[in-house]
């Protein structure tokens, strides 16, 4: 299986969103990654349903939603209505994580659990068979363009072991500081899905950059 590439819209030009969505549609990107922030779970606010409505209308790629919000379960029906493909909820934001995972799956969406850089992989032991994907944050969530946290490579290896030991089918996704230097190392360590914001959207040729990530 070739690497799944999910550009993060956070680094797009929101003044010319339609143009950037058309670039994504033309490109080899597999999914579009959408970062939703509430200013409570993370120290930033991004965009919400009024913007997502147009993203869902114009984007032809599956939508991968990363919820950096408290009480993500409140909004699952809204994401289902938008036709979202996968929903990432943070381990740190869900008191009843097992219930939230099943609520996502019951709505026909893929369920993913996200870990902050300080949250250990071993805490996933009791949910790893239930999730379709684990997102390892490779920066502290909230902002694009941050520096990759090196320890993340070890976490990818640990997660790969946990998945193998438990017979889970979860994909391994990484998000934050993914660039042409870190991406090959992440893929080598076992990553299935690369999220990339700044590297894609600040490139001279974003479509070519997406294709290059895809070839890793």
- Shortest separation between residue 33's beta carbon and ligand DX5, angstroms: 6
Binds 176, which of ligand DX5, Zn ion, none (CB < 5 to 8 A, cut-off by type)? Answer: ligand DX5
Q: Specify the 3-state DSSP secondary structure of 119.
A: coil
Start-end of H helices in the chain: 17-26, 49-58, 76-81, 97-106, 152-166, 182-189, 198-201, 206-214
**Of 87, 115, 121, 177, the one binding ligand DX5 by CB under 6 A:** 177
By CB under 5 A, residue 30 contacts Zn ion: no
**In the complex with ligand DX5, which residue's Cβ is closer, 62 or 145?**
145
Active site residue 126: no
**Of 176, 183, 189, 194, the one binding ligand DX5 by CB under 6 A:** 176
DSSP-derived secondary structure letter, 120: -
The C-alpha atoms of residue 4 and residue 172 are separated, in whole angstroms, by: 10
Tokens of 92: 């740190």
Active site residue 30: no
- Shortest separation between residue 46's beta carbon and ligand DX5, angstroms: 9
**In the complex with ligand DX5, which residue's Cβ is closer, 126 or 181?**
181
Do 135 and 101 contact (CB within 8 A), yes or no? no
Residue 180 CA: distances (Å) to CA of 28, 32, 129, 203, 206: 16, 19, 31, 11, 13
The C-alpha atoms of residue 216 and residue 211 are separated, in whole angstroms, by: 9
Stretch that binds Zn ion, among 75-83, 155-163, 173-181, 182-190 (CB under 5 A): 173-181
By CB under 5 A, residue 175 contacts Zn ion: yes
Strands 110-115 and 86-90: parallel
- Shortest separation between residue 69's beta carbon and Zn ion, angstroms: 12
Residue 80: count other Cβ atoms within 10 Å of its Cβ. 15
Which residue in the list 20, 35, 64, 132 is annotated as catalytic?
Answer: 35
Q: Binders of ligand DX5 among 19-58, rule CB under 6 A?
A: 33, 35
Q: Which residues bind Zn ion (CB under 5 A)?
A: 35, 66, 175
Residues catalogued as catalytic: 35, 175
């Amino acid at each position: 299986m070739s690497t799944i590439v999910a550009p993060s819209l956070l680094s797009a030009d929101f003044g010319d969103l339609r143009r950037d969505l058309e670039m994504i549609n033309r490109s080899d990107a597999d999914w579009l990654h959408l970062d939703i922030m509430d200013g409570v779970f993370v120290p930033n606010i991004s965009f919400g349903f009024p913007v997502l409505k147009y993203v869902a209308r114009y984007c032809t790629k599956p939508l991968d939603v990363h919820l950096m919000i408290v009480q993500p379960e409140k909004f699952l029906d809204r994401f289902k209505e938008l036709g979202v493909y996968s929903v990432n909820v943070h381990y740190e934001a869900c008191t009843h994580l097992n219930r939230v995972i099943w609520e996502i799956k019951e709505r026909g969406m893929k369920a993913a659990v996200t870990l902050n850089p300080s949250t250990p992989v071993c805490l996933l032991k009791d949910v790893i068979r239930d999730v379709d994907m684990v997102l390892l944050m490779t920066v502290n969530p909230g902002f694009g363009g941050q520096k990759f946290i090196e320890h993340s490579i070890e976490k990818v290896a640990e997660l790969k072991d946990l998945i193998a030991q438990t017979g889970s089918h979860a994909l391994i996704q990484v998000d934050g500081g993914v660039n042409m230097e870190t991406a090959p190392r992440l893929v080598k360590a076992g990553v299935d899905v690369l999220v990339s914001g700044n590297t894609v959207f600040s490139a001279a040729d974003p479509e070519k950059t997406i294709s290059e990530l895809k070839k890793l």
